[in-house]
Every structure is written in C-alpha cells, then in structure tokens.
Amino acid sequence: MLKEIHEQPQALEETILGRVDGITGQVRFDELENFSLETVERVIITACGTACHAGMIGKYLMEHLAKVPVEVEYASEFRYRQPLLNEKTLVLCISQSGETADTLAAARLAKEKHARVLSICNSMGTSLTRIADRTLYTRAGIEIGVASTKAFSCQLAVLFLLSLYMAQQRKTEEYESILSHVQSLLVLPRQMNELLKISDQIHELARQYYLYHDFLYLGRGVCYPLALEGALKLKEISYLHAEGLSAGEMKHGPIALIEPDVISVVLLGRGITGVKTLANIEEIKARKGKVIAISHPENLDAIPPVEKLLVIPETSEFLAPLLLIIPLQLFAYYVALEKGSDVDQPRNLAKSVTVE
C-alpha cells in the first residue's frame, strides 16, 4: 500500500498523458470519438466503495464545469430499483477491477433501459468494459493493496478531465477557464511529490493517535466525499471505528459524540465551504475534542489552534481532493502499521467484490 501511495504522482502523469494540451487547454479522449456528450441531459454515476466516493466528487466537477445534472448512487442500491432512464441519460459506471458484481448489474440495467453507458476502469478486457458503450481507462497500473489508493486518485483525474471535455463540447466554460484548469492539473504530480515528503510527520502523528478508538472525518463540498474516503481507509486497514460526515450536519446530531477521546480529522478545502468548516473546529475545541486539520493554504490565517495542522500546496478548489487524500491515506497506513495490522491484506476484505 505504501508503495502504491508513493506511485500516485507517476500514475497521475500516465492518466493525463495524451489527453490534454497544456498550451491550448484542449482536452481530448480518443476513446470518445463519435460518442458525443452534447445531448446528454442527465448523468447518473454508480459505483461501490472508494469508486463511489470518487463519483461523488465527480458530481461536483460535472455540475460546476459541464452544467449538467448529476446523481450519484451506490450500485448495490441502483440495481434493485426502477430508475427512469432514456437515451439522453448517461450512466457512468466506475470500477477499478471492472468485475464488481453490483456495478456490472447496474450497467446491465442501464443498457436495458436504453441509457448510454460509459465506464471508468483500470483493467482492460474486463466484464464492465465489454458491457459499456465506451470506456475511459485510468492507467494507474496494477494495484495490489486491497485498500485502493492510486486507482482512486486516477479516477478523480479522469472525472476531472471528463468534466472539462464535456464543458468543451457543451460550451459551458470559457477557453481561459479550461486552460487554467488544465495547467493546474499538469503541475499536480510535482505537488504530490512535495506532499509525500511529509510522510515522517504523519507517521509521528499516527504514533500519537493509534491507541484511540473513535475518529470523525469532516468536510464540506468536495471535501465531504473525501471525508468518507478517509474514514473508509482507516476502517479498512486499522479496524478502528471511523465515520465520515458532512461538516454542516454536525449540529444535527453527530456533535453529541465529541469528547476528549474522539479525534476529529477536519478537511478544509478552498472557497466558501472551507471557510464554513472553520466553525466546526471551534465547536469541537469548545467541547474538548481533539482536531487534526488538513487545509488548503487559503485558510491558514483563520484556523484556530489545533493538535496538528497539515497544509497542502496551492491548487484549485476542484483539484484539492487529489492532494488532500494523500495525508489521509498515509495516516491510515501508519495507524494500521502501529497497530500491527496486515495493511495489504486486511481481514474479511477482497480486492475485487465479484459476488453479492
């Protein structure tokens, strides 16, 4: 797993390669030739686990950039209802392995309902790629660790590129805006490498907190799905109770959980949602809770005192998740390591869930 975390900058470069022009800002997918997305009226993203968290972030990207309505649903739920689909509905199925049973069933159902099916997959020649009308490959390389890391980052990158591609086709973003997004994406591998240099800091943080039993992960906007993913990583490999929450929902019940032995990992992205999340830190500290904050540089002057503050490099609001995820993955890894867990083959889990 640690090797695959450190492979993310290279995997991201491979995923981007040939799909963007840093001078013109043009985004292209050879896989989508003669597969126009201009007439799409609605997108449904369906997936399981980590892939679904990527899809939830993709919803923000597509709605903001391509201005198309997007729904996200667990494939295990989607497959057992009667969704209202037609030929102007794009069903986007995401699976690292391409063999996830529920996602395959969701793709088949979408085809039966005459929707167009596009898949995002890391494995060629799999069942999902054969069902889908077209497939966008993530090029993450072989991922052995059960807890997905580099595949998740590459899924986010493909979703970001797809959102820009749709914005080009649908003319919903100005040329200058798309160019700016592309240029920000191109420097991300270097920024990831810089961020990975704080591994020792995160290892020390894990040594401080691995004996605690309850963790809350909080975020808003694109950071909410990231909170879910951070909590999932800790659960998967350390077997600790961890819960991902929308920071805006804390006052609607979860704040009752705050006490000195509960660790809150607070994600502060760029923009208004990051600013709003600052209030959650104040509320947690007022109740003697402990806070680990991972923040975009924009928020630094306003962050109240916390137990630990980690800062990502400067980037855009929608690319911040690709940097914020790295400290979350490393923290989960080092906590599991300190606990003596089998990081690469955690109990009760399989890399690919091929049965219901």
What ranges do the domains of the chain cover?
A: 2-186, 194-339
Q: How far apart are CA 94 and CA 100, in angstroms?
A: 9
Residues 6 or more apart in contact with residue 294 via CB below 8 angstroms:
265, 266, 267, 268, 309, 310, 311, 312, 324, 327, 328
Other C-beta atoms within 10 Å of 303: how many?
18
Query: What dotted CATH number matches 2-186?
Result: 3.40.50.10490
- Alpha helix locations (H) across the chain? 2-6, 8-16, 49-65, 75-78, 101-112, 127-131, 150-170, 175-186, 188-195, 199-209, 223-238, 272-286, 320-339
pLDDT at 235 exceeding the cut of 90: yes
Q: How far apart are CA 71 and CA 139, in angstroms?
A: 25
Phi, psi values for residue 251, rounded to 5°: -70, -10
Task: Name the token pair of 48.
Answer: 């399981």
Task: Name the token pair of 223.
Answer: 């950071």
Q: Mean of the pLDDT values across residues 256-264?
A: 96
Please write the tens of the pLDDT for every residue from 295-352: 999 888 899 999 999 999 999 999 999 999 999 999 999 999 999 999 999 999 988 8
Please give the pLDDT value at position 169: 93
Residues linked to residue 135 through DSSP beta bridges, in sequence order: 119
Please write the tens of the pLDDT for every residue from 175-218: 999 999 999 999 999 999 999 999 999 999 999 999 999 999 99
Task: Name the token pair of 343.
Answer: 């990081």
Task: Name the token pair of 214.
Answer: 């309850």
128 close to 218: Cβ distance less than 8 angstroms: no
How buried is 120 (Cβ within 10 angstroms: 0-12 exposed, 13-18 middle, 19+ buried)? Answer: buried
What is the percent of the chain with per-residue pLDDT over 70, rounded to a whole number?
100
pLDDT at 151 exceeding the cut of 90: yes
pTM: 0.96
185 close to 19: Cβ distance less than 8 angstroms: no
Please give the pLDDT value at position 352: 81
What is the percent of the chain with per-residue pLDDT over 90, rounded to a whole number?
94
Please give the pLDDT value at position 11: 97
Please write the tens of the pLDDT for every residue from 80-102: 999 999 999 999 999 999 999 99
pLDDT at 355 exceeding the cut of 90: no
Arithmetic mean of pLDDT over the chain: 96
Task: Name the token pair of 133.
Answer: 């009308």
Can you tell me which residue has the tokens 């793709």? 107
> What's the residue count for the chain?
356
Fold for 194-339, please state it. Rossmann fold (3.40.50)
Q: Mean of the pLDDT values across residues 249-255?
A: 95
Please give the pLDDT value at position 50: 97
Q: Mean of the pLDDT values across residues 255-262?
A: 96
